[in-house]
Amino acid sequence: MTRPIRCLITAGPTREFFDPVRFISNPSTGKMGYALAQAALDAAWTVDLISGPVALPPPQGLNLYPITTGAELHEACHDLFSACDILIMCAAVCDMRPAQTHPHKVKKETLEWNGRFEPVPDILKSLSNVRKPGQVIVGFAAETRDIAEYARRKLEEKNLDWIVANDVSRSDAGFASDTNTVTLYARTGETYALQPGTKLEVASSLLALFAPTLSRTQSNT
């Protein structure tokens, strides 16, 4: 008997703090990541969901790991990654963080809005560097133009098996939308333009495309 597929999904935004009450982030609602988690549960997969701060109830039956910052997401991903067959990195990681975080609330009269930022290290890249043979890694690319070109470049640079690209400038595919229109690019060269649908429908279609590679992996181990 084969064991269920174990997937690690990340969802939602991360926040980077200037001081205890001020942060930068992005408009991610977590809807796509939570839809992936629900679709994975529907397929009887075991699901570890690492979630940034969102207003969604977690689906029943998964292991939920709440995080807030990119550093916390990095740590949680590295703790859980080695146990998964497939990582789906749907979280909208806040790319930059203040170079300095103040331990106490800064008085607004003394706030420096031109403070320095530093990049948040690429979590996907760090995970693909430690992947075991057979582990499948999927990234997301939210773009507003030249989607195919940027998505393919990320697939290469981050050493991914698949990348799911969506045009977040479309009203039916943006962060808060209940629907999505995505294109899936494979490391092996194939491109799949998926039917537009609800995020749950799109999530199910994506998992159906990933599943055959995972079954092969499972029967090899």
Would you name the residues annotated as active-site residues?
26
Regarding 9 and contact with ligand C5P (CB under 6 A), the answer is no
Residues 145-184 that bind ligand C5P (CB under 6 A): 154
From 50, 86, 123, 200, residue interacting with ligand C5P (rule: CB under 6 A) = 123
**Least distance from C-beta 145 to ligand C5P, angstroms?**
13
Query: What own/partner pairs with CB < 8 Å and gap ≥ 24 does 217-220 have?
Result: 217/85, 217/134, 217/135, 217/136, 218/2, 218/3, 218/5, 218/85, 219/2, 220/134
Q: Segment contacting ligand C5P (CB under 6 A): 32-40, 43-51, 115-123, 196-204? A: 115-123
From 13, 34, 139, 199, residue interacting with ligand C5P (rule: CB under 6 A) = 139
Regarding 98 and contact with ligand C5P (CB under 6 A), the answer is no
- Sort residue 32 into left (φ over 0), alpha (ψ -120 to 50) or beta: alpha
First and final C-alpha spacing in the chain: 12
Q: Segment contacting ligand C5P (CB under 6 A): 78-86, 101-109, 121-129, 165-173? A: 121-129
Q: Which is nearer to ligand C5P, 6 or 74 (CB)?
A: 74
What is the side-by-side order of every strand in the sheet holding 162-167?
63-66, 46-51, 6-11, 86-89, 136-143, 162-167, 182-186, 191-193
- Binding residues (CB under 6 A) for ligand C5P: these are 89, 91, 93, 95, 120, 122-124, 139-141, 154
